[in-house]
Amino acid sequence: MKPIWIVDDDESIRWVLEKALARENLATQSFSSARDAIQALQSGTPQVLVSDIRMPGASGLELLQTVKAKHPGIPVIIITAFSDLDSAVSAFQGGAFEYLAKPFDVDKAVELIRRALDESLREIDVEQSAAQTPEILGQAPAMQDVFRAIGRLSQSNVTVLITGESGSGKELVARALHKHSPRASQPFVALNTAAIPKDLLESELFGHERGAFTGAQAMRRGRFEQAEGGTLFLDEIGDMPLDLQTRLLRVLSDGHFYRVGGHQSLKANVRVIAATHQNLEHRVREGLFREDLYHRLNVIRLRLPSLRERSEDIPILARHFLTQSGRQLGVEAKRLSPQAMQFLSQLEFAGNVRQLENLCNWITVMAPGQTVEIKDLPQDLVEERTHAPQPAQTLSAPASAAMPLPAGSDAGYTAAPAEASNANWISLLEVEAAHMLAQEQPEVMDILGRQFEAALIKIALKHTHGRKNDAAVRLGIGRNTITRKIQELGIGGAEDD
Ligand SMILES: Nc1ncnc2c1ncn2[C@@H]1O[C@H](COP(=O)(O)OP(=O)(O)OP(=O)(O)O)[C@@H](O)[C@H]1O
């Protein structure tokens, strides 16, 4: 998120706002004149702008005008003198989000800035949902079923449960359902319930009132409110704590909810799409998932096949990702030789499409030459494949996909992925950083691999609260591999799960 700009010639006001926003973990950038802020707009923009109206040189209204002309989506809060009604009116006429009369209560100011922030993030979501949903590729019959299902489901408002292994494209499908729905011009808001600490999840979903708990210094809208009129995508729903499942069920049943610490019932006009890589029937049987919520979510189930079940799609996906990473890095896209393509098409891909995407990023940067042969692929991958029993492991899941499977059944659900290759999960960003570093200091290449592995495993463990197997799935590597690497690299804080 970009910083909040504070523009005021009065140093004490800048200081007070900076401190109050820092307490909320919000980054700020301050300017002592409107001129400086106008200048800075040439090289960057704020998430929200807070500006005094009367300053020497250019006024806050001039700044407001400049911002609105170039970036109409940025909310601007204008600070006016207490009795200056004319200025307040001019601010609104100029497109200000709100005005703040001096002297102001700092908590109120923070609350207002939070509201403006929610508004600007909502704008971003709308933009992203409308324009930036990446294309879903797939020629395999199982994917054609998925496309047909998206077509049939997109016009309806029905709750959809998307199941499938990690990295198989569940979020992409949720975005596509939203993009082709009548809600497309409204926000698409995603929340990974497994990535948010349990204590924060409730307020993240439903928002909170000021003072609802220690540290809640301002009212905050939750994801249900942010998604108003649009779609809320709840990823990893199987990990949601039981007490929150109860609250979620209530919203889905009667369409109303309360902010944490709030007494006013709010109406939710949101389409919910949930996803899980877990077997929810097992979770219900184990008492970890509410059966009534399960039935509420499982109205329509869309099952995404694993990449192993649609290996005929590997060539088109690989070409697509090589073109994409070439474009992102500003280099010509590499090609795979027919043998290398054939080799990839026979891999297990435990991390599914995400693993293939990361492998292509790796190839773009690391493989020598324009045409990539088997020997140019990551060493671990080649070795693991060479040592794997021949023929390749058989797959238990049938290749049929999609909807509508009878509610309650998860026929063909494949459980946790098998042990697989591990050298191809570095994300594009890390690869890019490694590439830059290696160009400047070629000798670091020898140690870079280990450092990156350690850093990425730590990040994955952090996101999965130390759960080793979940971290392995996220990284697209096997359970044995992560266990071995944790030992080799001396990483602490991992647990079996
Ligand atoms: N059919 C596809 N065509 C093109 N890109 C795809 C396809 N499926 C997945 N991807 C890409 O693969 C990556 C992983 O997909 P996505 O995040 O949707 O998976 P997921 O199932 O939601 O993963 P997780 O369970 O870990 O949340 C994304 O970059 C996505 O754009």
Query: 461 is in which domain, residue-wise?
Result: 425-497
Q: Are residue 292 and residue 311 in the same domain, yes or no? A: no
Is residue 77 situated within a structural domain? yes
Cβ–ligand 1 distance for 138 under 6 Å, the answer yes
Is residue 401 situated within a structural domain? no
Cβ–ligand 1 distance for 129 under 6 Å, the answer no
Cβ–ligand 1 distance for 139 under 6 Å, the answer no
Q: What is the per-residue pLDDT for 117?
A: 86
pLDDT range class, residue 278, cuts 50, 70, 90: very high
Cβ–ligand 1 distance for 357 under 6 Å, the answer yes
Q: Are residue 189 and residue 258 in the same domain, yes or no? A: yes
How many CA atoms are closer than 13 Å to the CA of 410, on its beta-carbon side? 23
| ipTM above threshold 0.95 | yes
Q: Are residue 113 and residue 152 in the same domain, yes or no? A: no
Q: How far is the CA of 216 from the centre of ligand 1 (A)?
A: 35
pLDDT exceeds cutoff 50 at 389: no
Return the closest-CA partner of residue 124 out of 188, 168, 65: 188
**Looking at the 3D structure of the chain, how many domains does it have?**
4
DSSP-assigned beta bridge partners for residue 100? 79
Q: Do residues 325 and 360 lie in contact, with contact meaning Cβ atoms separated by under 8 Å?
A: yes
User: From the CA atom positions of the chain, what is the Rg in Å?
Assistant: 25
Atom 18 in ligand 1: residue holding the nearest Cα: 169
Atom 9 in ligand 1: residue holding the nearest Cα: 169
Q: How far is the CA of 171 from the centre of ligand 1 (A)?
A: 6
The mean pLDDT value for 114-121 works out to 82
In tens, the pLDDT along 45-65 reads 899 999 999 899 899 999 999
Q: Coil, helix or strand for 440?
A: helix
CA dihedral 384, 388, 390, 393 (to 10 degrees): -110
Q: From the CB of residue 337, how many other CB atoms can be counted at a distance below 10 Å?
A: 13
Q: Do residues 17 and 40 lie in contact, with contact meaning Cβ atoms separated by under 8 Å?
A: no
Residue 56: both structure tokens together: 């020497």
Cβ neighbors of 116 (< 8 A, separation 6 or more) are 48, 75, 77, 97, 98
What is the CATH number for 291?
3.40.50.300
The mean pLDDT value for 142-162 works out to 88
Give the rounded percent of residues in the chain with a pLDDT score beyond 70.
80
What is the CATH number for 53?
3.40.50.2300
Q: What is the per-residue pLDDT for 440?
A: 55
Which amino acid is located at 153 in the chain?
L
In tens, the pLDDT along 192-215 reads 888 777 778 898 899 988 888 766
Q: What is the per-residue pLDDT for 195?
A: 78
Q: Are residue 62 and residue 159 in the same domain, yes or no? A: no
Is residue 415 situated within a structural domain? no
Q: Which atom of ligand 1 is nearest to the CA of 313?
A: 1
Cβ–ligand 1 distance for 277 under 6 Å, the answer yes
Q: Coil, helix or strand for 160?
A: strand
Q: Are residue 315 and residue 295 in the same domain, yes or no? A: no
Domain boundary (76, 99, 124) is at: 124
Residue 183: both structure tokens together: 């809600």
In tens, the pLDDT along 236-268 reads 999 999 999 999 999 999 999 999 999 999 999
Q: How far apart are CA 176 and CA 206, in angstroms?
A: 25
Report angle CA 464, 465, 466 to the nearest 5 degrees: 90
Q: Are residue 487 and residue 438 in the same domain, yes or no? A: yes
Cβ–ligand 1 distance for 353 under 6 Å, the answer yes
Q: Which atom of ligand 1 is nearest to the CA of 235?
A: 27
Is residue 409 situated within a structural domain? no
Is residue 378 situated within a structural domain? yes
Q: Which of 132, 171, 302 to mutate to test the pocket of ligand 1 (most atoms within 8 A of CB)?
A: 171
Which amino acid is located at 306 in the chain?
S
Give the rounded percent of residues in the chain with a pLDDT score beyond 90.
41
Q: How far is the CA of 136 from the centre of ligand 1 (A)?
A: 9
Identify the residue whose tokens are 């609250």: 247
What is the CATH number for 376?
1.10.8.60
Q: Are residue 148 and residue 292 in the same domain, yes or no? A: yes
Q: Are residue 196 and residue 290 in the same domain, yes or no? A: yes
Q: What is the per-residue pLDDT for 417?
A: 29
Q: Which atom of ligand 1 is nearest to the CA of 138?
A: 1
Q: How far is the CA of 111 from the centre of ligand 1 (A)?
A: 36
Q: How far apart are CA 45 and CA 49, in angstroms?
A: 9
Residue 75: both structure tokens together: 């909310």
Cβ–ligand 1 distance for 172 under 6 Å, the answer yes
Cβ neighbors of 306 (< 8 A, separation 6 or more) are 164, 165, 168, 349, 352, 397, 414, 417
Q: Which of 178, 321, 354 to mutate to test the pocket of ligand 1 (most atoms within 8 A of CB)?
A: 354
Q: Do residues 422 and 477 lie in contact, with contact meaning Cβ atoms separated by under 8 Å?
A: yes
Q: How far is the CA of 351 from the centre of ligand 1 (A)?
A: 10
